[in-house]
Structure 1
């Protein structure tokens, strides 16, 4: 993170330049037993490929709305940063019928069909597996993203004062996302580089998406993002906190 970072994509670029090997997102799904750890470099590569898919194959332009009908998940975090890279507006749980494009996960495919633009489906299965049968009206993210370029270049500069994120009905510019993430980091226990926050909060509020992505990114820390944490007993949770070197929690 540097003082000149004005968008979430800027924060990621600074993290990549500073310490690409450190963990950024560690994801658990306690319904499936999945664990995925992404370093800054690996996460940034997923973001670059997804941004190329969004800008190139889907034809998304700065200012266009992308409804993300997805839970708190490492792939949702990738899409949030890909939208920021392109300059598109990420709408968490947004109205598909009013969106220019839609990205949907299990349980939301029917809702996403209201979008007349490009639609991408995520299986959210362990290891990012492909669908056995792709939902009608959608492209399979796991099929489309691997062949995308590892370097992303937007067609034009992204304006930090333009809308970047809509969450819980509130619209924020890229600069506002960065400012709020920085301002709230200490309250989340993210007191400096190396801080590691365990979050089980959903992405349907600012608090959830800040704890689950933007706060750790802005603070130079990392997040242990847990889905279905209620299936884990307190003893097992304590062992996870210890093994993952967690320094703060948001539950």
Structure 2
């Protein structure tokens, strides 16, 4: 990654310039058997479409705060980078009543109604399936995002010193996030090409770092596992081998 990168969106742009075809996020849900692999280019395309939805249709602007009520999931990772691309602060598990927008998944729809702004619902079903009927008060992400543009340009430059992420009640600026992600990557022994298997939730900085930011900062990739407790021990060993995992954080 480039030493000049100062926001999460910068890290993604550098990854795209370096090797767009390599895997970036490989997601497993061991409760459903789902496996999704996204290359840097595919992940960046999802981020661009989501950022365009956020900035355009949802009228989000730098300084807005978005309550992200989602578990560790590849679509959660997309939203985190989309927020960073627009300059919106992603509040992981934030209070919808204090947020400008809310993005919610199953089990969080009632709580998300406390948000007076725009509300987006994700089914988190395999292949990003649509809801048969969207939850009341929400727009369906799977309906809204496909028509968005494949390239994104923010209306205003993103300030690296503005809050980019809120987790555990603490804000991190974009520059602080990048610095911490680089330090975590070094602590985990990640180098370009490393594949980190991560089984932690996204409700803490440690989970977010292992599950997205540290591998991205290192020029590596993440094998993000949800419901890893449902996998037998021999299954984990086989996954580590089949996915060419070099490092683990479970």
Sort the TM-score into its range (normalised by shorter chain). over 0.9
Report the Cα distance in structure 1 between the residues aligned to 2:210 and 2:170, rounded to whole angstroms: 17
**Does the 8 A contact of 1:25 with 1:223 survive in 2?**
yes
In the TM superposition, 1:122-133 aligns within 5 A as: 122-133=122-133
1:165-219 residue CA offsets vs partner (Å, 9 max, x unmatched): 00111100000000000011122231x1110000010001110000000000000
**Does the 8 A contact of 1:72 with 1:227 survive in 2?**
yes
Q: How big is the shift at 1:221?
A: 0.3
Tell me the matched-pair count.
250
Q: SS in structure 2 opposite 1:114? A: coil
In the TM superposition, 1:129-140 aligns within 5 A as: 129-140=129-140
**Does the 8 A contact of 1:196 with 1:246 survive in 2?**
yes
Question: Structure 1: where are the runs of 5+ without partners?
Answer: none
In the TM superposition, 1:210-221 aligns within 5 A as: 210-221=209-220
Q: How big is the shift at 1:162?
A: 0.3
Report the Cα distance in structure 1 between the residues aligned to 2:209 and 2:235, rounded to whole angstroms: 25
Q: 2:226 aligns to what? A: 227
Q: 2:113 aligns to what? A: 113
Higher mean alpha-carbon deviation, 180-189 vs 9-18, is at 180-189
Q: 1:244 aligns to what? A: 243
**Does the 8 A contact of 1:189 with 1:247 survive in 2?**
no
Q: 1:71 aligns to what? A: 71
Give the TM-score of the pair, scaled to structure 2: 0.99
Question: Structure 2: where are the runs of 5+ without partners?
Answer: none
**Matching of residue 188 in structure 1 with residue 188 in structure 2:** yes
Q: SS in structure 2 opposite 1:27? A: strand
Q: 1:11 aligns to what? A: 11
**Does the 8 A contact of 1:12 with 1:217 survive in 2?**
yes
Give the TM-score of the pair, scaled to structure 1: 0.99
Which stretches of structure 1, 4 residues or more, deviate above 4 A after TM superposition? none
In the TM superposition, 1:44-123 aligns within 5 A as: 44-123=44-123
1:202-245 residue CA offsets vs partner (Å, 9 max, x unmatched): 00111000000000000000000000000000001100000000
Report the Cα distance in structure 1 between the residues aligned to 2:108 and 2:80, rounded to whole angstroms: 18
Report the Cα distance in structure 1 between the residues aligned to 2:192 and 2:13, rounded to whole angstroms: 16
Report the Cα distance in structure 2 between the residues aligned to 1:225 and 1:193, rounded to whole angstroms: 18
Report the Cα distance in structure 2 between the residues aligned to 1:52 and 1:21, rounded to whole angstroms: 23
**Matching of residue 164 in structure 1 with residue 182 in structure 2:** no
Report the Cα distance in structure 2 between the residues aligned to 1:112 and 1:234, rounded to whole angstroms: 36
